Structure 1
């Protein structure tokens, strides 16, 4: 670091009122669990992730005995894991302090012995897919040199595919004869193609690409032995929909659903139906689609967010649900329609929060959907924080968020904008940021900001812009290109200097950026310059808080230092919090510390503290 930057203030507590202080911390500390994932041929062998230890780690659950065991125990946590189909092994990804670069480790499901590198012959890298069969394992690895895919069978490891373009392992057929991979040999990793290989020699059986601007994603092969059908996500009609492709006959079955928005899905265990998760305007719902009759049946859940779902071999559906006011629970829906809680981690439950409402605002690219939350009892224009989601290809939803809730506790109205670039609103909306990323999204944010002021929700003198990752990038860009709108900015793990970020980031993101910007910084230097926050740093005239991880491969630290060095030369108050992790933290105490820094900074900036 070339300049000594002012350290962020870490408040001992956010609120003078002890009950409010305890409330917001309890939401973050409350134990949570993910929807369990089970071994294909041993459904009693389950794994899930939980923060019960204070760090997000992998747990094993033997349903036959009812026993639960913490599998991983690493200082910066573990999120990525799966099981072998026979239920004997747990595979989890081992990186260094959140840098996302590492190797898959495997250990016995019941914990006899210690884990070791699963396939020593596969080099370390960023993960690019993993499929485990009884006799075949396929692993994808991404490095600065591109993508390499490996197969392990009968004690031997073979590299069967390599490319300078982004690629990954996608799906393995039940009989392990067919292996689907994702690739971007056509030059656009944001809209990939799918290739199916014969696993006995890795010759190409079939290729499918829908053309420029139309991506394909292989979701899963049929779970039936000898069934060559592959479930795909396509966007031929301007939104993400489902398609079943019979690899041997070449026949296609497009799943036409009378549902707005977009969907994703998976097979029922007997391959007779699909479990559909439908997303529309910030909320998701569950449906069963009968492949024989074409009948679509709703699986009734309250409005909110489905955070994961799967169908057990006996046909029951397990899923996670929450909404803005109610914390998530993992539930089970039986065939008779009864719905009960499946997993409740030990400890105090998370306190609830406030519900949210929808706002639809006309913008320069069409109607913008925003989610709006108000502090309890609030009346008249409020200090308002605009929380900009990451991605950019993601979306804010009517889900429970301890982070949103603490801003409400602090006296802020909260506005979440599903700007152009967000998913769930069609391909054109998602891809509208191509060639002009950042600036396009901020046009939508400005339109919603104007609406919030005009409607009497937001106090125009006390609006804060905040976000992490892509949201952090938009925050810093907003401070430079929209001076006068914002009273302060809070940017977590942001892109701050896009050219330097491109030089240092992981190759998968360089490929993404080339597709988004229209080339590399060498190819289109003016686009990177126009869309980089550091270009507009002379316009920044309000307090800025930046938080960044030393080991972040997505928004690397050097380019953030470049921005802060430039900011230090100006008379703008700013603070910097630097921590020893990657793209965010899986440690609950660290998360609480960062939230206290962010909300405390914003409260001081708008006169609430």
Structure 2
């Protein structure tokens, strides 16, 4: 395959749109899509099937719509990628986008809307706080947090959310803010447990907890002060025994639906009954009356939006998303594996073979970001692009990843760049010993970029090359440059162990570097700032290490436009072609 062919294939994969279902209001399904080149709001008329683009130029996030109003509430970055946001509204049928609140922009990272009031958490350089606003643009700060917290739902009585509210890096608690009393209460079923993503139904709060061992859904009644296990009408959910949940919520009549996760794949349940969907991953879902709307994909099949009639079980595709045949034919077998790491811990991973490469052939160990994230059997543009361009993929869900229970996720707290790095090294070992890899690279974005820097400095002899996107080279300097939110992130990740910052920074080992590396970094990244990376590159230059550096102008950490994704992936593919094919 020529370089020209690879560029054409890459462009085709990158242009494949994403879809995120938000909900239904006034007969229209509201969703996010990149179909016109940026992550924008759209609505689909459920009676006619016609689609309307509601925003343009890319937005950052949106609240679930409410039947109480035609307005959709969303956030937009107004700082060229520095992730300083303002709140906007737009009518679900289209029209003028309006700024909701005339105030200095902040990093907004949790937003909830009940049709009348908006609750959101936001960060400035010095403070994390909870805010309340209405559709008239009246806004007030109602509570300042001393630790990480995220608002997730609101109704006429309460705002709920969760976070590390007791400053224990290995626990998360639920907060309940009373609108009547203007006060906040912290709740946990058990001291030291992890409790996540609460959803409101009247005075009841549905959330996931590991307070009783494995991750389970529970219901807490705020006024009765009781905690109960949900009582489902059907047993399918119990038999499936999910390890975690991708999402969950209440229906209008008080039943519970949930997307259960196990080994990187999902199943959908309503009142305990499985609603059959194809194998893969449900990344977003909403129920409206007797219909389920869900985004479904796999590592080799792009996201499409499904409608399921909950009465008849009939499923139909309402927004399709087909790959060109040329791309489809290059995406090979997907296999879920587990391999043992240095200490005997089993590490789950997905392996995706390329039909455009021999076996053994050029292989990329793809390291996801987060670190509290995962590579599931769901569409990822970066992975699909690499596979289509002729590279096999091993994507480890290293310790600290989500999807495999809280015990597994918490193994990374207080040890970033320790056990998780060894898991990456042993992913490489698996690829070589199982005959998949001839040459092998390490590549990742964000935390995956950090791991790439660290892997290529501490174990340079193991890699033919590396590609580090938006990575971290110096934890001490990153902390100094961070706002209140990301200072809390670093504190939690390291469990307060500042003594580890230098030891776990790639810059501390840069003099060991000899692996060719391609560094790709957004100019305006406020999560993983550019300045420490430039200092790292200066050291590589002084040491005469072969590297490429690509600074992408006027974008930040979050990739909201397909053009920006192409700017990141194109130099990566060209670099891999040079170092993995010769």
TM-score if structure 2 supplies the norm length?
Answer: 0.91
Unaligned stretches of 5+ in structure 1? Answer: 1-13, 291-295
Q: What whole-Å deviation, never above 9, does each CA across 1:363-392 have from its counterpart, x for those lacking one?
A: 215111121122227554222110000110
Partner residue, 2:51: 68
Unaligned stretches of 5+ in structure 2? Answer: 231-236
Change (3 A) 1:344 1:373: closer
Q: Secondary structure at the match of 1:399?
A: coil
Partner residue, 1:560: 533
Q: What whole-Å deviation, never above 9, does each CA across 1:532-578 have from its counterpart, x for those lacking one?
A: 11111011111111111111111011121121122211111111111
Partner residue, 2:339: 361
| Structure 1 position 545 matched with structure 2 position 531 | no
Partner residue, 1:432: 411
1:464-543 matches, within 5 Å, as 464-519=441-496, 524-543=497-516
Change (3 A) 1:150 1:36: closer
Change (3 A) 1:453 1:348: closer
Partner residue, 1:29: 15
Change (3 A) 1:429 1:110: same
Contact map agreement 1:493 1:584 (CA 8 A) in 2: no
- Specify which of 269, 276, 283 is matched with residue 307 of structure 1: 283
Partner residue, 1:5: none
Partner residue, 1:443: 422
- Specify which of 220, 225, 233 is matched with residue 250 of structure 1: 225
* Alignment partners' CA distance in 2, 1:111 and 1:196: 34
1:68-147 matches, within 5 Å, as 68-74=51-57, 77-82=58-63, 83=65, 85-95=67-77, 96-112=79-95, 114-120=96-102, 123-147=104-128
Q: What whole-Å deviation, never above 9, does each CA across 1:572-598 have from its counterpart, x for those lacking one?
A: 111111112001432223322321210
* Alignment partners' CA distance in 1, 2:354 and 2:131: 52
1:406-425 matches, within 5 Å, as 406-425=385-404
* Alignment partners' CA distance in 1, 2:429 and 2:161: 45
Q: What whole-Å deviation, never above 9, does each CA across 1:328-385 have from its counterpart, x for those lacking one?
A: 2111111211111012379979942223112221121511112112222755422211
Q: Secondary structure at the match of 1:337?
A: coil
Change (3 A) 1:70 1:281: same
* Alignment partners' CA distance in 1, 2:325 and 2:42: 19
1:100-249 matches, within 5 Å, as 100-112=83-95, 114-120=96-102, 123-152=104-133, 156-173=138-155, 176-188=156-168, 191-204=171-184, 206-210=185-189, 213-222=192-201, 227-249=202-224
* Alignment partners' CA distance in 2, 1:540 and 1:588: 32
Contact map agreement 2:446 2:472 (CA 8 A) in 1: yes
Change (3 A) 1:270 1:50: closer
How much does 1:184 deviate? 3.4
Q: What whole-Å deviation, never above 9, does each CA across 1:388-439 have from its counterpart, x for those lacking one?
A: 0011011111223343233233332211001101111121211111222012
Contact map agreement 2:332 2:355 (CA 8 A) in 1: yes
* Alignment partners' CA distance in 2, 1:349 and 1:275: 36
* Alignment partners' CA distance in 1, 2:561 and 2:56: 11
Partner residue, 2:251: 269
Change (3 A) 1:203 1:27: same
Change (3 A) 1:210 1:485: farther
* Alignment partners' CA distance in 2, 1:380 and 1:53: 37
Contact map agreement 2:170 2:410 (CA 8 A) in 1: no
Contact map agreement 1:31 1:349 (CA 8 A) in 2: no
Partner residue, 2:234: none
- The number of aligned residues is 567
Change (3 A) 1:578 1:167: same
How much does 1:88 deviate? 2.3
How much does 1:297 deviate? 2.1
